[in-house]
Amino acid sequence: MEKFEKLTGIAAPMPLVNIDTDMIIPKIFLKTIKRSGLGVNLFDEMRYDRDGNEIPDFVLNKPQYRDAEILVAGDNFGCGSSREHAPWAIKDFGIKCVISTSFADIFFNNCFKNGILPIVLPREQVDLLMKDAEKGANARMTVDLEAQEITTSDGEVIKFEVDAFKKHCLLNGLDDIGLTMEKADAIKSYEDKMAQERPWV
């Protein structure tokens, strides 16, 4: 998994509340088990009309937000079903950080496992970041995970909290498999020992 240390990028404002996982990636696209290729269908029903044409007013279709790496969202982001395809689609599009006042628990945890940093902030701070994001491509935010700080395009600094273990995993690019592989020597030692003591197993 790619490490997350410091990110400076365009932030897209999406003030909608209760954006559920079916809005993030509709169920029709859940047939794949690949983590790549889903970005084109991120927010599919809001991005495209019935003929597959882009809807110009949707934020990620606007020229200034096509390369957004940060999403500033409304309350209760990622609610609904527990599909892991939702963070897959977000990451594949290129978004590495989502900021909101609240997240659904399963989505929140799935973000960390897929290299995305979800940040929970009080409403007044999310509103401030939303206004900063509305400035467009010239207003870039910086998210510093090590320092646990967000810096707006105007230089205002906002502190955020993050679980120490989840922070460690993101900083070191460790998903569940990566965490297991950190113990590879101990696992091999145990397996070798068991092979000698219980060769019939």
Residue 12 has pLDDT above 70, yes or no: yes
In which band, very low, low, confident or very high, does the pLDDT at 190 lie, cut at 50, 70 and 90?
low
* 6-197: CATH number: 3.20.19.10
Handedness of CA 176, 178, 179, 181 (dihedral sign): positive
What is the structure's pLDDT at 83?
87
pLDDT score recorded for residue 16: 95
Boundaries of every domain in the chain: 6-197
pTM to 2 decimal places:
0.88
Q: What is the pLDDT of residue 39?
A: 95
CA dist., res. 127 & res. 15, Å (int)? 9
Residue 33: count other Cβ atoms within 10 Å of its Cβ. Answer: 8
List Cα–Cα distances, 129 to 26, 70, 147, 164, in angstroms: 28, 11, 18, 24
The pLDDT of residue 104 is above 90: yes
**82-94 mean pLDDT:** 94
Residue 47 has pLDDT above 90, yes or no: yes
| Cα 48 from Cα 182, distance rounded (Å) | 43
- Sign of the torsion formed by the C-alpha atoms of 40, 45, 49 and 54: negative
State the residue for tokens 């009309």.
Answer: 49
Amino acid at 167: K
CA distance linking residue 160 with residue 75, whole number of Å:
17
The CA distance from 64 to 60, in Å, is 8
Is the pLDDT at 189 greater than 80? The verdict is no
Confidence of residue 183 (pLDDT cuts 50, 70, 90): low
Identity at 24, one-letter amino acid code: I
Starting at the edge strand found earlier in the chain, the sheet holding 117-120 runs: 117-120, 97-100, 70-73, 6-14, 140-144, 149-151, 157-159
In this predicted structure, the answer to whether residue 72 has a pLDDT above a threshold of 70 is yes
Instruction: Summarize the confidence of residues 150-179 as an average pLDDT.
Output: 91
Question: Above 90 in pLDDT, residue 54?
Answer: yes
Q: How many CB atoms lie within 10 A of CB 30?
A: 16
